[in-house]
């Protein structure tokens, strides 16, 4: 069965620090990869997605992620975080035709001013 691992459950950063959140998945076939963000009290929103092509994907709000097939990884990065980035971040993978997502456990990011 597919699974998704997020390495950090809680991350605390100061504003302007750089961010990298790890994500690994366990599936050898063709996958689609996603990062979703959940701001406090809000629903999940898509940050970025990878289906094919350039393994470096740029998303909204200055986020980017790099797909490294040999490492089964899809790490999320942002060069300089803001207080407004405080949220929970979920990595997810789908394969097959029905677009069913398998989620990681999430990483709670707290950014201090």
Partner 1 sequence: NAGVTQTPKFRILKIGQSMTLQCTQDMNHNYMYWYRQDPGMGLKLIYYSVGAGITDKGEVPNGYNVSRSTTEDFPLRLELAAPSQTSVYFCASSSGGSGNTIYFGEGSWLTVV
Q: How many CB atoms lie within 10 A of CB 44?
A: 15
- Asked if 37 and 88 count as a contact pair (C-beta separation under 8 A), the reply is yes
- Partnered with residue 90 across adjacent β-strands are 36
Question: How many residues make up the chain in this entry?
Answer: 113
Q: Does 90 bind partner 1 (CB under 8 A)?
A: yes
Q: Among 29, 42, 54, 113, which residue sits at the site for partner 1 (rule: CB under 8 A)?
A: 42
- Asked if 22 and 8 count as a contact pair (C-beta separation under 8 A), the reply is yes
Q: Does 96 bind partner 1 (CB under 8 A)?
A: yes
Question: Which range binds partner 1 by CB under 8 A, 13-21, 35-43, 60-68, 71-79?
Answer: 35-43
How far apart are the two ends of the chain, measured CA to CA in Å? 41
Q: Please, what is the minimum distance in Å from the beta carbon of residue 76 to partner 1?
A: 15
- Partnered with residue 66 across adjacent β-strands are 56, 75
Q: Please, what is the minimum distance in Å from the beta carbon of residue 19 to partner 1?
A: 19
Query: For the chain, what percentages of helix, strand and coil (3-state, to nearest 5) are there?
Result: 10, 50, 40
Contact letters for partner 1, residues 49-78 (x by CB under 8 A): x-x---------------------------
Q: Does 24 bind partner 1 (CB under 8 A)?
A: no
The footprint of partner 1 (CB under 8 A) covers 4, 9, 32, 36, 42-46, 49, 51, 90, 92, 94-106
């Amino acid at each position: 069965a597919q699974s998704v691992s997020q390495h950090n459950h809680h991350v605390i950063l100061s504003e302007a620090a750089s961010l990298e959140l790890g994500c690994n998945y366990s599936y050898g076939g063709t996958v689609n990869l996603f990062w979703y963000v959940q701001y406090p009290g809000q629903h999940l929103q898509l940050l970025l997605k990878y289906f094919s092509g350039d393994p470096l994907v740029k998303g909204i709000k200055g986020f980017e992620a790099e797909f490294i097939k040999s490492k089964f990884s899809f790490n999320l990065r942002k060069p300089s975080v803001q207080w407004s980035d405080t949220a929970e971040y979920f990595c997810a993978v789908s394969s097959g035709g029905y677009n069913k997502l398998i989620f990681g456990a999430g990483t709670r990011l707290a950014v201090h001013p």
